[in-house]
Structure 1
Amino acid sequence: MKFTLFIPITFLLLFSISSASAHFFPNITSIPPSLIPNTTTWEAFNKLMGCHNGQKKVDGLTKFKKYLQYFGYLNSSYSSFSDDFDEYLESAVKTYQLNFNLNPTGELDEQTLKHIVRPRCGNADVINGTSTMNSGKQPRPYSANSTIHTVAHYTFFPGRPRWPESKTELTYAFSPENQLPENVKSLFARAFERWSEVTPLTFTETTSFNSADLKIGFFSGDHGDGEPFDGVLGTLAHAFSPPVGRFHLDGDENWVTDGNFNNGSPASAVDLESVVVHEIGHLLGLGHSSVEDSIMYPTIPSGTRKVELANDDIMGVQELYGSNPNYNGSEPSLIPREEGDWSGAHYVHCSLWGFVFPLIIGIFLL
């Protein structure tokens, strides 16, 4: 089940037992060399440079087609997984290029592959065969205090699901099996506050995982929702739209918590807060944006920190929920905490013992 299938349906959810560890590092220098891979998940795609329609038996195209299908660019019914570059693949590449503001040649050029090999959100960009990432929309009034005048590129899930107007106080909980350290929990709280600052919504942590509106967990590999994680880099996390409220992160990533990448970083270092802020946008009903500076842009290079909401993010979430009465229409003012203030172990292994949820039958209405 991909982002395209997160639309409300009746379904059974059964999580299987697994065990793994989530790695949290106070800074980039504390990542052990043994956890830094020699190659990243999609780096092999770089050898496809220059591939175009009509080429036959190009080693690696089968895997690339599966990548594009996973993120919605090839229809779910597409089954021609050969190493031939056909017209369907060319069309899918053009759609990808449009979404990422690239020249839509249909050829795998350098700039296209540069984006494709980046780690990214596991939610799809194309929903049921339709992409809106590249469609600029004239902004609609969303706040009496708004002073933003620009073309909007934010998107929503199919049917535009959102949390009910009567529910402005959302609770969130972490999987008890994760046993997250307090500094990581504080990072999540700060990420939620970034969205709360511009909307009427508030977010409160609860210890009751089963009853929480938003359920957060770190998992490894196949964790039972049809969207398996793929190890270091590749897909980093995914989240379900309202009112599902599930938020999963890949426990195999090298998650960095201090946000300081000024001195460079290993190719596998991922800023945890940047990913968390993005996925919260999905929990609230936002899809992906084609604005590269926005939080809801689908990809983020390793060793990059991006936590401040852009105008496009604010316009989108306020179209769904309205504005925080105290928000004056300017850029959010949340001040990042002091850097480098973590103390303790060289790095933290977060135990991720798998668990079995009861069968849950949920009916989600548009």
Structure 2
Amino acid sequence: MATGSLWGLAVYGAERALPSASLSITFKGRARTLKPEHQQSFGSFFKSWRSSEGPSCGRLLDLKKYLKKFGDFDDHLELALKAYQKFYRLNVTGNLDSSTTQQMMIPRCGVPDIINPPPSTEPSSTESKHKKFHMVAHYAFGSNKWPPSKYALTYTFGPGLQVFDLNTLRSVCADAFQKWAEVTSFTFTEAADGASADIVIAFYSGDHGDGKPFDGPGNVLAHGFFPQAGRLHYDADENWSTDPAMDQIDLESVSVHEIGHLLGLYHSTDRESIMYPSLQIGTKKRDLTQDDIDGIHALYPN
């Protein structure tokens, strides 16, 4: 969800802010064709900046991969960076400056920020390619939504990895669903044991079969798929908590965000919004803002 991949997109890592020295690159022309041996992990890309190694072909490729993963950006890196900076309300320079780099380091939802064409209900399907995309004010949504006959949604907990005991997970998710129930016509009920459900919630690590593998600690925290796929996945490798310390991720904050994707909302450019893609470690962000409420009401008019 964005997917809705919280921040992850979500695209909801958890590195400290990087120093401003040696962080500015201007990209002109098309990206170079790179050999496979130059490809590095995105984490290595940022570590190289920290150690002042400067740019390399491999690190530029990692930047390009990041921009594509979270927004289907243009192959031209300068244009891609400008699109990223515009979405996050940064100074639009087309340069990889310190503020842009620091934004990329914040944990996030795995759902792309700029979705064009809008995603379908299934990650690998292309049936929704030409559906209309709406962006009004700061919130955004597409054409994927639950029909009125499915406003009484059920959810269950899948057979993924155990990160919390079931009662804790139940309590957190019930509170998160209630935030959306209070401002919509939706109801959310846990399905009886063994019964099928509209939404399946689980923790996974790495490649878990949905085409959107998790990346370990930091960066992508979770993702939720748009209607009517009904899947909410958390990255089990994150340092989760129900009452986060400075180095932990708040489970309820991420859950409220991902449920927004399950209902059909895209990411918002409003930094205060629940549907903003990024979440700072050690913080709680659990309450819907007016932007979130306006967005869900626009998607599901009364």
> TM-score under structure 2 normalisation?
0.76
* Larger Rg computed on CA atoms: 1
Q: Which runs of 4+ in 1 moved over 3 A?
A: 1-5, 39-48, 54-57, 176-180, 207-210
Which residue of 1 is the match for residue 55 of structure 2? 58
Q: Name the % identity.
A: 46
Matches within 5 A, 1:240-319: 240-259=225-244, 261=245, 265-266=246-247, 269-319=248-298
Partner of 1:84: none
Note the residue ranges of structure 1 that are not aligned, 5 or more in a row: 6-38, 79-87, 138-151, 324-366
Amino acid at match of 1:299: S
C-alpha distance in structure 1 between counterparts of 2:145 and 2:210, whole Å: 21
Determine if the alignment matches structure 1 residue 97 to structure 2 residue 85. yes
Bigger helix share? 2
Alpha-carbon distance change, 129 to 322 in structure 1, aligned in 2, over 3 angstroms: closer
| Counterpart code for 2:97 | D
CA separation of 1:45 and 1:281: change in aligned 2, threshold 3 A: farther
Counterpart check, 1:191 vs 2:190: no
1:73-121 Cα distance to aligned partner (Å, 9 max, x none): 435xx4xxxxxxxxx1000000011101112111112221121111100
Residue 207 (structure 1) shift? 3.7
Equivalent position of 1:226 in the other structure: 211
- Write the distance in 1 (CA, Å) between the matches of 2:256 and 2:2: 20
Shift of 1:322: 3.7
Report 1:207-218 matches (<5 A). Answer: 207-208=192-193, 211-218=196-203
CA change 1:289–1:239 in 2 (3 A) is same
Question: Equivalents in 2 of 1:209, 1:116: separation in Å?
Answer: 41
From 148, 153, 156, the counterpart of 1:165: 148
Contact kept in structure 2, 1:41 and 1:234, CA below 8 Å? no
- Name stretches of at least 5 consecutive residues in structure 2 with no aligned partner: 6-12, 33-53, 119-133
Structure 1 window deviating more from structure 2 (103-112 vs 285-294): it is 103-112
In structure 1, what is the Cα distance between the partners aligned to 2:258 and 2:203?
A: 13
**Equivalences for 1:1-366 in 2 at 5 Å?**
3=3, 40=14, 49-54=23-28, 58-59=55-56, 60-75=59-74, 78=75, 88-128=76-116, 137=136, 152-157=137-142, 160-178=143-161, 180-208=165-193, 211-259=196-244, 261=245, 265-266=246-247, 269-322=248-301
- TM-score, structure 1 as length reference: 0.63
